């Protein structure tokens, strides 16, 4: 069994995954970090050299390689849900938690992030968040077993909520 965290950048996935993993004594893995490790390039460099489609292909390869893992907490990239194939392989052996946050919270948390290239050309930072969330929200909803809002909450409280839900059956 695995725990998979999905959601937009800045919702707390990386930090919360680490806390949940420590509490359970499980390994944690970031799909983005694994993509960079395998490609031996940063995400901006992957996208610049090969494009977003190539990045998404690498992401799918990582998801497939993790599908049958056990005792693993996975922090996914925000766009993992774009390909239904990723969701299907990860859900085979996991409970999926969608971490959400308001646009204001996301903007505050990721305003200085230089590790991710723009997803929407010609938009302001806030417009990009709004546009991408509008596109992805139905995909996050469809993939999630549980939804957890992270606005104005400590990462410890979020991790404890995940742990409480983890022992419940998926509805």
Q: Is the pLDDT score of 88 beyond 80?
A: yes
Query: Backbone phi, then psi, for 81, in 5-degree steps?
Result: -80, -5
Structure tokens at 135: 């596109």
**What is the pLDDT averaged over residues 88-97?**
94
Under the banding of pLDDT at 50, 70 and 90, the label for residue 155 is very high
pLDDT at 87: 96
pLDDT of residue 1: 92
Q: What are the structure tokens assigned to 127, written together?
A: 């417009």
Closest CA to 117 of 31, 40, 55, 35: 55
Least confident interval from 3-17, 35-49, 106-120, 126-140? 106-120
Query: Which range of residues forms the domain containing residue 37?
Result: 2-166
Q: Has residue 115 got a pLDDT over 60?
A: no
Confirm whether 116 is domain-assigned: yes
**Whole-prediction pTM value?**
0.91
97 occurs within a structural domain: yes
CB 127 within 8 A of CB 37: no
Q: What is the mean pLDDT of residues 74-94?
A: 95
Q: What is the CATH number of the domain that holds 121?
A: 3.40.50.300
DSSP assignment string, 73-129 = EEE--TTGGGSHHHHHHHHTTEEEEEEE--HHHHHHHHTT--SS--SSTT--HHHHH
Average pLDDT of the segment spanning 117-135: 77
Number of domains in the chain: 1
For 7-71, where are the E strands, in sequence order? 27-30
Residue 17 is predicted with a pLDDT of: 97
Residue 171 lies in a domain: no
In a domain, 55, yes or no: yes
pLDDT interval class at 5 (50, 70, 90): very high
């Amino acid at each position: 069994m695995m725990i998979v965290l999905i959601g937009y950048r800045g919702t707390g996935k990386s930090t919360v995954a680490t806390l949940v993993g420590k509490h359970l004594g499980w390994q944690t893995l970031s799909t983005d970090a694994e993509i960079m490790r395998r490609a031996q390039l940063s995400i901006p460099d992957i996208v610049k050299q090969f494009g977003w489609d190539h990045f998404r292909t690498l992401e799918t390869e990582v998801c497939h390689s993790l599908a049958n893992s056990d005792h693993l907490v996975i922090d996914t990239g925000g766009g993992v849900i774009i390909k239904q194939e990723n969701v299907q392989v990860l859900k085979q052996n996991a409970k999926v938690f969608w971490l959400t946050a308001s646009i204001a919270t996301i903007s505050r948390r990721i305003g200085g992030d230089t590790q991710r290239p723009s997803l929407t050309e010609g938009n302001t930072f806030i417009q990009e968040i709004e546009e991408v969330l509008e596109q992805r929200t139905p995909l996050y909803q469809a993939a999630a077993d549980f939804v957890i809002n992270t606005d104005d909450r400590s990462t410890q409280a979020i991790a404890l909520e995940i742990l409480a839900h983890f022992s419940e059956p998926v509805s």
